[in-house]
A and B are shown apart, each in its own frame.
Chain A
């Protein structure tokens, strides 16, 4: 299984919850513990171990607050 990671831009998140609804693996939570600078309930990437880098959360985020990454073996040619 591919492994993935997402980055949520907390300045852009408005807490609508679409990302957690459409994450098939339940990686994203909104438990009301954290708030954005604008006062929205933040989505939190709570279970990174479940993420398979499908990118659906990023498509469905209306606010373009999410970047989804796939984790791949580091190439030797990659800059260190």
Chain B
């Protein structure tokens, strides 16, 4: 992917079947944060940007983001980008996505990334951190983080995750937990809560299929894990807390204290067979009780 350009991203139009033509975005093509843009409203007021697309989010001029309506993975990604911007670390950040719905997100981010095989991002991230973070004089320490789904992280990738924790790798693992396999159509994953119906547990998950895995709690038992937390983005308050967790995780990594991990609960309305708004209620009522929010191991 040499010389990748923004124009190339219009190619997603081919994927989504939308003709790339004159749909004009009302947003200015480029702007600076806090820039008034010279635009004045009629009553001599000026506009100041409060919250927009994060700068690292590349514009897809002709298309929406290729996720389902109400999917919160881009929301979780926004929290990550906000933190990167706050820390001024966008230039040193290397993102390692796995395979799942979130695999598409890095293509839209203006960050260096290496896509991994299903479940293996901790392996790649370990190697990248050790190769680039050798204390060479000509570069700052890289900020290496993975972006994984729940299936990627703890089903197919459990071995990689556990052993990265055992080796106390200085990386950050971000797990977007939508409690099922979203990409393949909503099958049971190890994090599916009891009672949650999926296409492979049509009557709802029962203890016969085991119990949901609580990853931050599990990782907190490792001596080599420095930070483990679980957040959600279903309300503005939870969003802000999650953002704080991610920031702490990144700071833990930059301080070289060991592996840091943040799980983010995300909604998946189509595979839960719910409207987006009902899915937020479902998170509040059925998922958070089985996956308590908070920090489980901290600096």
Contacts and interface: CB of A to CB of B under 8 A. Distances in A.
Interface stretch (B68-76, B147-155, B161-169): B68-76
B64 A78 contact: no
A42 to B, nearest CB: 12
Contacts of A60: 75, 233, 236, 239
A16 B45 contact: no
A59 B241 CA distance: 13
Contacts of B60: 12
B27 interface: yes
B236 A56 contact: yes
Interface of B, helix, strand, loop or mixed by DSSP: loop
Interface stretch (B49-57, B89-97, B195-203): B49-57
Contacts of A61: 75
Interface of A, helix, strand, loop or mixed by DSSP: loop
Contacts of A4: 50
A69 B64 contact: no
A9 B47 contact: no
Classify chain A's interface size: 35 or more
B51 A74 contact: no
A61 to B, nearest CB: 8
A15 B64 CA distance: 11
Interface string B10-24: 000000001000010
Nearest to B54: A64
B277 A67 contact: no
B63 interface: yes
Contacts of B277: 16-18, 21
Nearest to A56: B236
B65 interface: yes
B30 interface: no
Contacts of B233: 60
A15 B75 CA distance: 15
Interface of B: 18, 23, 25-27, 36, 38, 40-41, 44-54, 57, 60-65, 67-75, 78, 233, 235-236, 239, 269, 275-277, 280
